[in-house]
Copies of this chain bind each other. A is one copy, B any other.
Amino acid sequence: MQAQFISIGQLAKRTGVAVSALRFYEEKGLLNPLRSGGNQRRYLRSDIRRVSFVLIAQKLGLGLAEIEEHLAQLPEGRNPTLTDWQKISRAMREQIDARITLLNRTRNQLDQCIGCGCLSLTKCQLYNKDDKLGLKGPGPRAVLD
């Protein structure tokens, strides 16, 4: 039978995420490994799935802070069940749906602007400030906030 815990190097190999990134995720609260006698990190096998989830969520445009909120819904300590994962995936689906909708809307407005060639702050719908895309992370914060 396989060992119950895996090292950081093994987790890195299984997920394709750099060791330094895994430590960084821990700092951000996304992972909570145990420690060996010699102070080395010991991960649960289910943490592979946890990291995988992070990768997917990032692909969908979520920031680590948002991802952490999702992960926080998983049971502390015990291995998450299939149902646990399905619940959290569904919640995420809604976020990504909203994001796609906004992107589509913006694109359609661009289409209109191509027609009129306006690009004018006073006329063009594109400049509606409240209609911000859910682009998190670095960006024109002063403009979007």
Residues of A within 8 A of B (CB): 14-18, 21, 48-49, 52-53, 55-56, 58-61, 82-83, 85-86, 89-90, 92-93, 96-97, 99-100, 103-104, 106-107, 110-111, 113-114, 117, 119-121, 124, 126-127, 129, 132-133, 135, 137-140, 142-143
Contacts and interface: CB of A to CB of B under 8 A. Distances in A.
A53 B117 CA distance: 11
Task: Give this chain's copy count.
Answer: 2
Contacts of A113: 56, 89
Given A16-B129, A52-B120, A100 B107 contact: yes
Given A85-B117, A100-B103, A100-B107, A142 B93 contact: no
A117 B56 contact: no
Given A104-B100, A137-B138, A119 B17 contact: no
B127 A114 contact: no
A96 B103 contact: yes
Contacts of A124: 52
